[in-house]
Amino acid sequence: MSIGVSYFGNRILRHVAADMEDLAARGFTAVLHTFSENDYAHYREQISELVRVSHAMGLRVQVNPWGLGHMFGGEAESWFTAQHPEVGQVMSDGRRIGAGCPNHPTFRAFVRDWATAAVETGADEVFWDEPHWAHPDRFAPDGRAWACRCEFCQQVYADLVGGELPTESTPEVQRMREASLTDFLGEMVRHVRDLGGRNTVCLLPLTEGPLGLSDWESVAALEGLDVLATDPYWKAFGEPVEPFVSGFSRHVVDLAKRYDLEAQVWIQGFGLGPEDADDIDTAVAAARAAGVDDLWTWGYEACGHMPGLGTRAPERVWQVLCDALTGDGHHGEADSDAVLDGLGTEAVRADLDDLDLRPTADLVWLLAAEHAAATTAVLRCAEPLAEAVDAVAERFGQGGRIVYAGAGTAGRLAVVDAVECPPTFGTDPSRVIALMAGGVDQAVGRAVEGAEDDRLAGERDVEGCGLTATDALVAVSASGRTPYVLGAVAAARRVGALTVGVAGNGSSALGAAVDHAIEVPAGPEPIAGSTRLKAGTAQKAVLNTLSTAVMVRDGKTYGNLMVDVRATNAKLWARARRIVATVAEVDVDRADAALTAADGHAKTAIAALVRGVEPEEARRLLDAASGRLRTVLEG
């Protein structure tokens, strides 16, 4: 099984070598290097070096004619057609354009020369990328003109069909265009084979229209072809992911079996955002289900270095792609030793190998200092945490719920935060709840072994709590890859709920799967083997900060006073009485009386005192102000 990715935009060898090492470490087995006209002119020897270092990392290598003559896929420009305008295709409206004609002998000779150089790089395959006629959207102002009507195409038409090549697109014109492309590819594939190279042809996932090729079988039958590929980029083509990827994957697999070829499919990895995580998983699953063993994505790090390709949060999209393609934790499998060894939360600190021999005072100081370091790490995440607060507060203010999901220590911390919201902020207990692997009733008091590895349980628990698009799911995982938590996130995304992930490692599977990632890499624990220490402190700080800030945004406080507290015991009554007296500027006796009349609700008592109304009217005023005391007092 091959797992590959395209790589472009970097020709500095030491950086390329580091990136190839990164790919191999992530589980990729192959890479495609773009070989544009600019590379052909200025970086030809360097491309060979890129191939060499890729092979040194154990990677299979393809090279492609990126944007060559504007006849192959890619954003690269063509200097050859600019310098040789006579090779350009002629549109049906008579304009000659800067895209090489596959029937022009000079352009064919240029592409053959490029292919010779491609084989000489030492690459395993030459990847003929999306061969196509001129794109109407790029070269035709009205989108209706087609190519090509040059003298060579007219001769091909006359030989194939007979008569003069018309100006309108007809079935006979399409027949000429398809035959020309197939003949062109046949010549190039044979040329590479004769040089001892191998060939991949990647067809656009279209079988009709100005760019489509209806007769894929003629291409599959080409002498010298080794791999038949396609790239069903569902979002780029505006298609539903599963049927689009599945259909073209099956088409390629069927033809590959019939003509003794390898089948290759490319998964879209650009122009996406974290919200597309489920679609990426679906695309990979669809291709695998169709029998594709050679699976690739375009491109490295989700093409984040090329803003024009429109990837949002590329680090997170890249992690989703890596996990989906390599099967590294995103689909709910239990973590392997190798995967865990790579996590910061699992690292062992060599400087503390004598911890058990240290004096108690030193031990206490060290552990306390580690907790302080954890909260410092939280401060470094203030910006994404603030963005998450605003997003959650918006849902909560519209009547939605906050639903926590976690396992083990993370789950218990989530439960604590949820159950403390009603007495602290006067929230309805149903508005902030927690889900926990193994069940809240069972797993809070004692560990339920293996519960965190059950991804389906996470999905079922979210479905069972009736999560909707108005709610926010806050998922917590020290490793950032807990299957139960990832399952909960997947189920939440399916119903359109807001998703927030709190993880103890950067570039986590959880962070890649959610709308808002709060990744707090606090570093290795002082005692390896448990994340309830420093990671737990960081998680508690994040959850406390998030819920408190959301409640402040929702009007649960007045200044820094907890005015929404309900006095349900002696301690809370005394606290509420002090708050009422402070805000309403009355003595404790009047505050006590007002609090009694307001059934122990500090906010209602304050509104009644300041506005000089009965508690019932105070409640009405607060309701009209969406519960915001400042609005009532200053309105």
Edge-to-edge order in the sheet of strand 498-503: 432-436, 402-406, 472-477, 498-503, 516-519
Identity of residue 437: A
In what helix (H) or strand (E) does residue 61 lie, and over which residues does it extend? strand 60-64
For residue 304, give the 3-state DSSP assignment.
Answer: coil
Q: By the 8 A CB rule, do 198 and 188 touch?
A: no
The H-assigned helical ranges of 10-43 are 13-26, 37-42
- Cα separation, 542 vs 516, in Å, equals 13
φ, ψ (nearest 5 deg) of residue 422: -60, -50
- Cα separation, 237 vs 266, in Å, equals 14
In the numeric block, which tokens belong to residue 430? 């149903």
The answer to whether residue 420 is catalytic is yes
Q: By the 8 A CB rule, do 126 and 199 touch?
A: yes
- Cα separation, 233 vs 283, in Å, equals 9
The closest of 287, 298, 203 to 244, measured between CA atoms, is: 287
- Cα separation, 210 vs 213, in Å, equals 9
The closest of 279, 297, 210 to 238, measured between CA atoms, is: 279
The closest of 478, 456, 322, 337 to 406, measured between CA atoms, is: 478
The closest of 515, 550, 549, 540 to 410, measured between CA atoms, is: 540
- Cα separation, 481 vs 320, in Å, equals 11
HSE-CB of 126 using CA atoms within 13 angstroms = 30
From 242, 333, 420, 617, active-site residue: 420
Question: What count of residues does the chain have?
Answer: 635
The closest of 272, 270, 228 to 249, measured between CA atoms, is: 228
Chain centroid, CA 69 distance in Å: 32
The closest of 604, 563, 527 to 346, measured between CA atoms, is: 527
Give the count of beta carbons closer than 10 Å to the beta carbon of residue 136.
19
- Cα separation, 296 vs 265, in Å, equals 6
CB-count burial class (<10 Å; 0-12, 13-18, 19+) for 445: exposed
For residue 165, give the 3-state DSSP assignment.
Answer: coil
In the numeric block, which tokens belong to residue 602? 């500090």
CB-count burial class (<10 Å; 0-12, 13-18, 19+) for 625: middle
The β-bridge relationship of strands 60-64 and 125-129 is parallel
The answer to whether residue 452 is catalytic is yes
The owner of tokens 């997947």 is 490
The closest of 533, 530, 528 to 356, measured between CA atoms, is: 528
The β-bridge relationship of strands 432-436 and 402-406 is parallel
φ, ψ (nearest 5 deg) of residue 496: 85, 15
CB-count burial class (<10 Å; 0-12, 13-18, 19+) for 169: middle
From 301, 452, 459, 519, active-site residue: 452
- Cα separation, 445 vs 441, in Å, equals 8
Give the count of beta carbons closer than 10 Å to the beta carbon of residue 484.
28
Which residues carry out catalysis? 420, 452
